[in-house]
Amino acid sequence: MRTVGFIGLGIMGAPMAVNLVRAGYDVVGYNRSRSKVDDFVANGGRGAPTVGEAVHGADVVITMLPDSPDVRAVSADIAAAASEGTLFIDCSTIRPDVAREVDEACAASGIRVLDAPVSGGEKGAIDGTLSIMVGGREADFADAKPVFEAMGKTIVHVGPPGAGQTVKAANQLMVAGNIQLVAEALVFLEAHGVHTGSAIEVLGGGMAGSKVLEAKAGPMTSRQFTPGFRAELHHKDLGIVQSAAREAGVTIPLGAVVSQLMSSLVAQGHGTLDHSALLKLVEQLSGRE
């Protein structure tokens, strides 16, 4: 499988597609914004003016789209343009029930589907070190493994269709909670006049250490909220978590709180900032803006 159609060349999708090109794949990219396609072509890929043309003749089709309705709509175009046996890998973060729906709909056209959301942020996408959680059939996962290895480092088959999205929902729950606690800790430290750089160093070496602390504490301290992952997207993801939790009859009290905080951040007009801008809410609630 050497030809890849890649739909969605945004913050995450573009570097993922470029890493496939660097790994030797013939990648045809499509994005609603033509400038993104032009940038991808400048990095060695090929461009397509429509989803259908990106998909036609591809052995593998990968999507990296914002939300469930986008994937549902594009999957219909993929099913119409792809050949029987094409492997469709959706790396978007969407509802698990929609992932199962897409799998069933595409199977009727002979399209093999894997739901394979990713974690690791923009840096992980650029470095090719993403964590990829894959739902779908074991044989299809085995066929897709070389493609995944061009984009990620930790690649795990987690179960049947929809399982990848379920694991991603758990990931987004944990990340949001961790960001909120890091934000609270930083504001707490600053209020006591502690040198935050030194505090972050020692906290990172103990049980409080985490990928979130490592990646986000520095930019949060300097109030640099350039998006690696937009708050509005994490807000969407937390909605997925809450919906899936209700469906399973699971209570997530801390998740509900951080979901409300993320919702407030977006409602205040900060949705395009990095999700670490939760720090702004902690400062606001503490009267330290």
The one-letter amino acid code at 4 reads: V
* Active site positions, annotated: 168
Cβ atoms < 10 Å from Cβ of 203? 18
The one-letter amino acid code at 194 reads: V
Cα torsion for 185, 186, 191, 192, to the nearest 10°? Answer: 70
Task: Write out the two tokens for 185.
Answer: 């800790």
Cβ atoms < 10 Å from Cβ of 273? 19
CA angle 220, 224, 226 (to 5 degrees): 120
Contact 162, 115 (CB under 8 A): yes
Strand 26-30 versus strand 87-90 pairing type: unpaired
- Nearest Cα residue to 106 out of 46, 49, 63: 63
CA distances from 57 to 1, 18, 37, 53, 172 (A): 11, 19, 19, 8, 35
3-class secondary-structure state, position 274 = strand
- The residues, ordered by sequence, that sit 6+ positions from 151 with a Cβ below 8 Å of its Cβ are 16, 19, 20, 118, 125, 128, 130, 132
Concatenating the DSSP letter of every residue in 21-89 gives: HHTT-EEEEE-SSHHHHHHHHHTT-EE-SSHHHHHTT-SEEEE--SSHHHHHHHHHHHHHHSPTT-EEE
